[in-house]
Amino acid sequence: MKYSFNKTIILITLASTLLTVSCKKLLDPDPKDVIPDNEFLKDFWDAEFMLRGAYQALQPIVEYRFILGEMRADWVKPGTGADNDLLELSNHQVTANNKYTNWKVFYDLINRANYVIENVPRVPTDANNFSSFEKNQYVGEARFLRSWAYFNLVMNFDSVPLVLKAVDDISNVPYIGATNQNTILDTIEADLLKAFATTDIMVSVPNSFEVGKRVSEEQSRLRVTKKTVCALQAEVYLWRSKYAQAAAACSTYETVNGGAPGNKNDWFSMYLGVSNQNLFGEPMFFVAFNFLGREVNPLMKFTSNDPASGGMYMVAPSDAAIKTYNPNYPNSVSTNNAIDEVDRGFGRSYAGRAPYYNRLKSDPVIWKYIGLGTITPGTIDVPPNVRAPYQSESKYHIYRFADVYLLWAEAANRLGDKATAISRINAVRDRARMPAPTVTTSSTTEEIEDYILRERGLELGFEGRRWYDLMRIARRGRPQVLINAVKKRAPVSLHPYLDATLANQKNWYLPYNAEEKRLNPNL
């Protein structure tokens, strides 16, 4: 594949990128790397290059999505290696100089997606590789990526600058004010309708040794499909309390998916490498990493407590989360799924101290990003199957089946359809070999909603969703759910501060980054 750089292909981020020390070097390509404008955008491979560039921007977002989605909630706590930025997030005392208030990774994805949306239509079609349908499909995928990035910004900052044009030159960087959250969400909804209309059910790729294309199971999980669009639609609609639209999006997802996956064999296998595809449709859309390609999941650094593996033990599972998975931990963990989360608890979502992770009474670690297999708790110190030092290739799931089904349960419950809500919860629990839900159609709306929140923690724990789940429920007039969750894992001395601070909805959002405000006086 050819690599090209010119004034229109240099994908810069907004304001924050411009003051990066290495900026001049990045924006000064060697003459041999430059392809003139009239030689670019000639064929399918140029369109493919643009789209891949957009997808590559997902990898740097993984760290931010994980940290921002977990550190402020109740499922994790600071590890012994937590730095000041993480402590600020955990204590809800975030300053404008905090690393994670810098939104450049999200705007990088937005800018790359804008570039695809503007320029792929210029690429000529050809009968073998790039039909009009595929051209529209690429644009639809980019619309999803832009929408997902903006939705993350809305959930973290409330109102942000809305930029729908690609920035192709430093002098063209727009310093605009923040756009109201509802206006951005309206734009997202409209974009997702277009994305659903133009994306495909499965992704096709060129054959290696013959003309034409073939359906790729792997690429269908690494790229946006109609299922992926439905998932984001459901989440956006739920955020806005549009329950009927959210339920409809989930129903469409099931139709497009051809039913609900029913894999009960190895829940943990969905976190292994890209080559493990025998998952009956569970992974819908994930970010992959390849060590040989110098791509590693950064979450090994945050979650491992083994310095030899690059682990800094910055983020640890909270006591509240562990007790939800395994009520009698650290004294015992059973194989009785009426008591313990056998498939999703100890040795799956979390484990013990390195190198013998089966130690029950040791400091627990998040296992999803460092393990190559499950662990059976015991007293015999046998080193488990753990990833090689610095070599985490674990997937980072953006959406998957269980996520959509629990969003569906949430929407149905709010619509008064408790039977459907419980059915969707049960589908997720049954796949994890757990008993049926304890809530019934006689339970209150709030009781079922709390049970769904609990189930989302068990199923999706440590995947960067928890804080946004709490916010979504709190926005329905239930702020105490969010406040109590945070207090459950915070020091008692911090409880009065949290009560006062989190009672104000504005404090659920991050402050604008200090450098961004200095660069952009319109913020």
Q: Is 88:98 a contact under the CB 8 Å cutoff?
A: yes
What is the model's pLDDT at position 5? 31
Give the number of other CB atoms < 10 A from CB of residue 80.
Answer: 10
Asked if the peptide bond before residue 355 counts as cis, ω within 30 degrees of 0, the response is yes
Q: Is 328:387 a contact under the CB 8 Å cutoff?
A: no
Distance CA 430, CA 58 (A): 32
What is the model's pLDDT at position 263? 62
pTM: 0.92
Report which of 200, 193, 97, 187 is spatially closest to residue 149, judged by C-alpha positions.
187
What is the model's pLDDT at position 127? 83
Report which of 239, 223, 260 is spatially closest to residue 145, judged by C-alpha positions.
223
Q: Which two tokens stand for residue 167?
A: 């920035």
What is the model's pLDDT at position 52? 95
What is the model's pLDDT at position 95? 98
Distance CA 329, CA 325 (A): 9
In 318-475, which ranges are E strands? 350-351, 365-366, 396-400
Q: Is 111:11 a contact under the CB 8 Å cutoff?
A: yes
Please state, in angstroms and as integers, the Cα–Cα distance from residue 347 to each residue in 331, 364, 466, following that order: 15, 10, 21
Distance CA 10, CA 171 (A): 13
Q: Is 439:451 a contact under the CB 8 Å cutoff?
A: yes
What is the model's pLDDT at position 70? 98
Region of residue 448 (left: phi > 0; alpha: psi -120 to 50; beta: else): alpha
Q: Which two tokens stand for residue 213?
A: 């294309």
Distance CA 516, CA 523 (A): 8
> Parallel, antiparallel, or unpaired for β 203-206 and 350-351?
unpaired
Measure the N-to-C terminal CA separation of the chain; round to a whole number of Å. Answer: 40
What is the model's pLDDT at position 39? 63
What is the model's pLDDT at position 279? 45
Report which of 489, 484, 488 is spatially closest to residue 470, judged by C-alpha positions.
484
Q: Is 452:425 a contact under the CB 8 Å cutoff?
A: yes
Residue 310: phi, psi to the nearest 5?
85, 5
The alpha-carbon radius of gyration of the chain (Å, integer) is 23
Collect the ranges in the chain with pLDDT lower than 70: 1-39, 169-171, 208-209, 261-265, 273-281
Report which of 343, 399, 345 is spatially closest to residue 75, judged by C-alpha positions.
345
Q: Could you tell me which residues come within 8 angstroms of residue 151 by beta carbon, excluding any fewer than 6 positions away?
A: 185, 188, 232, 235, 236, 239
Q: Which two tokens stand for residue 107?
A: 């705007």
Q: Is 420:412 a contact under the CB 8 Å cutoff?
A: yes
- Structurally, what CATH architecture does the domain formed by 15-199 represent? Alpha Horseshoe (1.25)
Give the position of tokens 């109201």: 180
Give the DSSP letter of residue 431: H
Q: For 229-249, how does the pLDDT look when each residue is reduced to its tens digit (9 = 90+)?
A: 999 999 999 999 999 999 999
Give the DSSP letter of residue 465: -
